[in-house]
Chain A
Amino acid sequence: MSNVARRSAGSSLSAFYRVAAVSVGLLAGLQASAHHSVSGQFDVSKKIVLTGTVEKVDWVNPHIYVHLKVTDEKGASAVWALGTVPVAMARKAGVTKESLLAAGQTVKVTAYPARDGTQNLGFLIRIDYPDGHFVSVNPDRL
Chain B
Amino acid sequence: MNATRSIRGISLVVLIALSSGVVAAEKKMPAKPAPDAFKRLSDGHPDLNGVWENDGLSFINPQRGADGSVLCIVGCPQPKAADGAAAAAPPPRMAAPARPKYKEEFLAKVKDLNERQVKTDPALNCGNPGVPRIGPPAAIVQTPGQVVFLYSDLAGSFFRIIPTDGRPHRADAEDTYLGDSIGKWDGDTLVVEAVKIVDDTWLIDNGAFHSASLRVTERLRRVGDKLEYQATADDPQVLSEPWQMRTRTLRQSREPLAEPVACVEKDLAHMVDGSHHDNAR
Specify whether A and B are partners. Answer: yes
Interface residues of A (CB under 8 A from B): 16, 19-21, 24-26, 28-37, 39-41, 58-63, 65, 81, 83, 85-95, 99, 114-116, 118, 121, 133-142
Residue B73 contacts which of A26, A81, A85 (CB distance < 8 angstroms)? A85
Q: Please measure, in the bound complex, the distance between the C-alpha atom of A36 and the C-alpha atom of B279, giving whole angstroms.
A: 10
Q: Please measure, in the bound complex, the distance between the C-alpha atom of A37 and the C-alpha atom of B74, giving whole angstroms.
A: 16
Q: Is the beta-carbon distance between B267 and A36 smaller than 8 angstroms?
A: yes
Q: Is the beta-carbon distance between A30 and B261 smaller than 8 angstroms?
A: no
Q: Is the beta-carbon distance between B70 and A95 smaller than 8 angstroms?
A: yes
Q: Is the beta-carbon distance between A118 and B264 smaller than 8 angstroms?
A: no
Q: Is B118's beta carbon under 8 Å from chain A? A: yes
Q: Is B75's beta carbon under 8 Å from chain A? A: yes
Q: Which residue of B lies closest to A121 (CB)?
A: B270
Q: Which residue of B lies closest to A32 (CB)?
A: B129
| Residues on the A chain within 8 Å of B72, using CB | 20, 93, 135-138
Q: Is the beta-carbon distance between A41 and B277 smaller than 8 angstroms?
A: no
Residue B118 contacts which of A36, A87, A134 (CB distance < 8 angstroms)? A36
- The verdict on A89 contacting B74 (CB below 8 Å), with A35-B205, A114-B270 known, is yes
Q: Is the beta-carbon distance between B74 and A138 smaller than 8 angstroms?
A: yes
| Residues on the B chain within 8 Å of A142, using CB | 74-75
| Residues on the B chain within 8 Å of A88, using CB | 57, 154
Q: Which residue of A lies closest to B125 (CB)?
A: A34
Q: Is the beta-carbon distance between A135 and B275 smaller than 8 angstroms?
A: no
| Residues on the B chain within 8 Å of A137, using CB | 72-75
Q: Is the beta-carbon distance between B75 and A140 smaller than 8 angstroms?
A: yes
26 contacts between A and B (CB under 8 A): A31-B54, A31-B151, A32-B134, A33-B154, A33-B279, A37-B273, A37-B277, A40-B273, A40-B274, A41-B270, A41-B271, A59-B261, A62-B126, A85-B74, A86-B154, A87-B260, A89-B57, A89-B60, A114-B270, A133-B65, A136-B71, A137-B75, A138-B74, A141-B74, A141-B75, A142-B74
Q: Please measure, in the bound complex, the distance between the C-alpha atom of A28 and the C-alpha atom of B59, giving whole angstroms.
A: 11
B204 to chain A, nearest CB (A): 9
Q: Please measure, in the bound complex, the distance between the C-alpha atom of A85 and the C-alpha atom of B29, giving whole angstroms.
A: 57
A100 to chain B, nearest CB (A): 11
| Residues on the B chain within 8 Å of A34, using CB | 121, 123-125, 129, 154, 205
- Give the total of B residues in contact with A, Cβ under 8 Å: 59
Q: Is the beta-carbon distance between B272 and A41 smaller than 8 angstroms?
A: yes
Question: Which residues 230-281 of B sit at the A interface, judged by CB distance below 8 A?
Answer: 258, 260-268, 270-277, 279, 281
Q: Is the beta-carbon distance between A87 and B76 smaller than 8 angstroms?
A: no
Q: Is the beta-carbon distance between B123 and A16 smaller than 8 angstroms?
A: no
Can you add 12 more A-B contacts, CB < 8 Å, to A37-B273, A94-B62? A31-B135, A31-B153, A35-B277, A40-B274, A40-B276, A62-B267, A95-B73, A114-B270, A116-B270, A116-B272, A138-B76, A142-B75
Q: Is B155's beta carbon under 8 Å from chain A? A: yes
Q: Please measure, in the bound complex, the distance between the C-alpha atom of A62 and the C-alpha atom of B271, giving whole angstroms.
A: 15
| Residues on the B chain within 8 Å of A60, using CB | 261-264
Q: Is B109's beta carbon under 8 Å from chain A? A: no
Question: Which residues 29-70 of B sit at the A interface, judged by CB distance below 8 A?
Answer: 54, 56-57, 59-60, 62, 64-65, 67, 69-70
